[in-house]
Structure 1
Amino acid sequence: MSARDRAGSVTVAVVLALVIVNILALSRQIVMDHGEGTLPPRHSGRRMLSLLRHSETPPWKSIDSFIQPVTVKPKPDETSVYWHIPKSGGTNAKSYFGCLGLALVSKTGGLAKYGVAEEDRLEIFKPFENSNARFVNVDVTTTEGLDRAVKLGLIQSSIADVIFFTNPTIIEGLFDTEHKGRVMAMFRNPVDRLISKFYYLSIASWEPNYQPTWDGMDLGVWARDHDTDHNFVLRTLMGKKARHLTEADLTHAKQLLSERFIVGLSNKYEESIRRFEAVMLVDEKIDSDTRYKCNSEFFGSRIEKKNANDHPQVEPGSEIYNIIAENKLNWTWRSTNT
């Protein structure tokens, strides 16, 4: 590989970060008005996920009908949705919002052990002692849970402050013209995210996708032979398999992020959380004492200690860093620079 090609691979993350920085600048522009789209056909959660899982059509065909543009001023009765990209600060964000006492929708709300997951009405409950964390008794990460959330009118009720999800395809099944969502996401340098994923899943025996065979494996061997993450963010956003991604998908994704997503950067974590708080109108919902307490607990000198998994650092520009960048992000790099 030539020095020029190697330099290109190393700067993949920089280019992607610059794209996101531009998105951050655009997302600051919040104004009053936006025209309404047309009401999309309603599907059950099971039907919606089935359609999207077996389709190569991006899950944003009727986006005007269910997602607010970043240029529309937030409203008190809006429901925000947080796209939790693995190893990009989503767990920390969930804990922080829980500390504030916001009403969250996550897997916790669907756990039978809390005794409310089968109720025929929406409820907010507090599952943990000595914690402000509040959850709505639904879980939209499963087809059954999504069906139940739609049936009970989760969005129409405005009971939830923020919904955490890992699959963007659920959004179209939840929202409609009269009840549009506000989408947020935290992005991380993609090479750093992959390295963190490798070390975390090699020891995280509590995770369903725990990979004990990775423990002790050479990072370079893993990157070449075992990682299947290929363009994870892009293929997840577009609802496609990696081999079917095109340059048009990259263009579409960048447009979606710039026009519809409130974007945060993990290396500017506190600033990004402040942005999310602004669109969720947290200052109007949560008293100042609680905000101060949670800020003291989660930010400043403590920000790196929450949900952190210590592992060897890989320096940008090193051989292994370049291998990961080239092997896993070369398609995105070529597309971004054409």
Structure 2
Amino acid sequence: SAIRPTIRSKPLYHFSIKRPRRNVTKRSIATLPYLECVQEETEETTRPYYGGRDIFRSPRLALALSLFVCSAGGYRRFNELWISRKDPSTTASVTTHPDEDVTYSLGGLENLEQRGSFLRTKQHVIWEVPMGNATTTSFEDFSSVKPSLLLNNYLTLSLHFTKDSLRNMIFLWHIPRSGSTTITRIASYCVGLTLSTEIGKSEVIRGINELRIMEDSDGIQFANVDMSYPLGIQQAKALNVGQNDDIDLISSPYLWDSASVFDGAYKGYMIAMFRHPIERAISLYYYMRKSPLYVKQLAGLTSIEQYAKSSLVENNWLTRFLSNTLSGQLTPKHEGIAKEILRVKCLVGLPMSETVEERWSARKKYYFGIGEPKVEGSEARNTLYKQNTFDLRLYEYAQ
């Protein structure tokens, strides 16, 4: 008998009504915006593959977030301007006493917003003398009031941080034994920036009265100025270092004095590398022991315990240089000034302890036989803690 093919009236599979198999991941991609949810059937629950129909949900959410951020920034800026115009008590008082050094305080600035507006606006400084007479000096008078230099000549990070290399340059606040020297070396060797630091002290001795860009045997380009002490900073100001387009980076430990190098048109980007105050103090001691410059000062000090109790040990170095109170007694008001300057003016850098400090110290000890001994729990460490109580809180704030 002849074999005849079987004729079917409809196909074997009808994809429009076929159900997906169980426990099989669906690989098809939905192309229609209003496609019904396709679900995977399991023994316990069902999970949708396609999450929703509203294709305009993400754009609307992004638009809402953008409007919220813009409105918050506008409100903050308006609030700062309103406080600076409405509250006349946002002034800084500088009081002198017959037997004490000058101390700075922010009178009338009880909350953080008012202190922030004080550091971002041009107010007046009341100078109170022991006789009771008071004179008002504008912030524009750079010769008599130092706070104006710091407030006006360094860029405010919270307001704008746009790079303008033709008018502004980097100012690296040099904190001893914290990595600042490493930053300047990277900037000169790797990036090729022209420096204005203490490296020009050898050229200052020659007595050249004009600004020159020098180059040493290693290819480092630097200006013939010395920014490591106040007199050298005054000479740099006279040579218009802050307005010179050939200089890329200025570095100095004297934050307030260096502000005079800049002006209203040419400002500085303030950056700084921080290190734990106790570790920095210990590192400074062992550095001074190996340096021939401090042989006479450390002649009678044979241990770090003796150094911690001597007059050579630093006392809250960070807080004093930030608040411009190099001597005298510190108060919580000086700590508040230091924290506010960090918040508003400074771009903070912190070392990576695992990759930089611990590993590099281990390599130095292994290859060169040098290293700083640990003084955990010792009497010297406890004494250093007492000498750096303000700096410890300031370092935690910077973190």
| TM bracket (short chain) | 0.5 to 0.7
Match for residue 322 of structure 2 among 228, 237, 240: 237
1:323 aligns with 2:349: no
Q: Within 1, Cα distance between the matches of 2:282 and 2:338?
A: 24
Alignment partner, residue 98 of structure 1? 188
Alignment partner, residue 166 of structure 1? 253
- Residue 244 of structure 1 aligns to a residue whose secondary structure is coil
Match for residue 307 of structure 2 among 211, 217, 222: 222
**How many residue pairs are counted as aligned between the two chains?**
255
Residues 197-208 of structure 1 correspond to what in structure 2 (within 5 A)?
A: 197-205=284-292, 207=293
Alignment partner, residue 213 of structure 1? 299
- Residue 147 of structure 2 aligns to a residue whose secondary structure is coil
Deviations 1:270-303 (CA, angstroms, capped at 9, x unpaired): 99xxxxxxxxxxxxxxxxxxxxxxxxxxxx9799
Match for residue 348 of structure 2 among 263, 266, 270: 263
Alignment partner, residue 84 of structure 1? 174
Question: Are the aligned partners of 1:40 and 1:65 in contact in 2 as well (CA < 8 Å)?
Answer: no
1:126 aligns with 2:212: no
Question: Are the aligned partners of 1:191 and 1:324 in contact in 2 as well (CA < 8 Å)?
Answer: no
Alignment partner, residue 111 of structure 2? none
User: Aligned partner of 1:40: which letter?
Assistant: E
Q: Within 2, Cα distance between the matches of 1:182 and 1:304?
A: 34
Match for residue 202 of structure 2 among 111, 135, 141: 111
Q: Within 1, Cα distance between the matches of 2:188 and 2:296?
A: 26
Question: Are the aligned partners of 1:139 and 1:145 in contact in 2 as well (CA < 8 Å)?
Answer: yes
Question: Are the aligned partners of 1:314 and 1:321 in contact in 2 as well (CA < 8 Å)?
Answer: no
Q: Within 2, Cα distance between the matches of 1:123 and 1:174?
A: 16
User: Aligned partner of 2:178: which letter?
Assistant: S
User: Which ranges in structure 1 are unaligned for 5 or more consecutive residues?
Assistant: 1-32, 44-50, 53-58, 272-299
Deviations 1:221-266 (CA, angstroms, capped at 9, x unpaired): 3212344311111112212145321101101111100110111113
Alignment partner, residue 155 of structure 1? 242
Give the superposed CA RMSD: 3.7
Question: Are the aligned partners of 2:204 and 2:225 in contact in 1 as well (CA < 8 Å)?
Answer: no
Q: Within 1, Cα distance between the matches of 2:369 and 2:121?
A: 44
Question: Are the aligned partners of 2:255 and 2:321 in contact in 1 as well (CA < 8 Å)?
Answer: yes
Alignment partner, residue 281 of structure 2? 194
> Which is worse superposed, 231-240 or 64-73?
64-73
Q: Within 2, Cα distance between the matches of 1:172 and 1:79?
A: 12
Question: Are the aligned partners of 1:201 and 1:211 in contact in 2 as well (CA < 8 Å)?
Answer: no
> Which is worse superposed, 192-201 or 167-176?
167-176
Question: Are the aligned partners of 1:40 and 1:176 in contact in 2 as well (CA < 8 Å)?
Answer: no
Q: Within 2, Cα distance between the matches of 1:303 and 1:41?
A: 51
Compute the displacement of 1:145 (Å). Answer: 3.3
Q: Within 2, Cα distance between the matches of 1:180 and 1:244?
A: 31
Question: Are the aligned partners of 1:191 and 1:321 in contact in 2 as well (CA < 8 Å)?
Answer: no
Question: Are the aligned partners of 1:79 and 1:162 in contact in 2 as well (CA < 8 Å)?
Answer: yes
User: Aligned partner of 1:329: which letter?
Assistant: N
Alignment partner, residue 141 of structure 2? 41
Question: Are the aligned partners of 1:183 and 1:262 in contact in 2 as well (CA < 8 Å)?
Answer: yes
Q: Within 2, Cα distance between the matches of 1:83 and 1:314?
A: 28
User: Which ranges in structure 2 are unaligned for 5 or more consecutive residues?
Assistant: 1-76, 82-119, 123-138
1:69 aligns with 2:156: yes
- Report the TM-score, using the length of structure 2 for normalisation: 0.55
Cα 1:37–1:96, aligned 2, differ >3 Å: closer, same or farther? Answer: same
Q: Within 2, Cα distance between the matches of 1:254 and 1:153?
A: 30
Q: Within 2, Cα distance between the matches of 1:324 and 1:264?
A: 27
Question: Are the aligned partners of 1:126 and 1:134 in contact in 2 as well (CA < 8 Å)?
Answer: yes
Q: Within 2, Cα distance between the matches of 1:224 and 1:114?
A: 36
Larger Rg: 2
Question: Are the aligned partners of 1:175 and 1:181 in contact in 2 as well (CA < 8 Å)?
Answer: yes
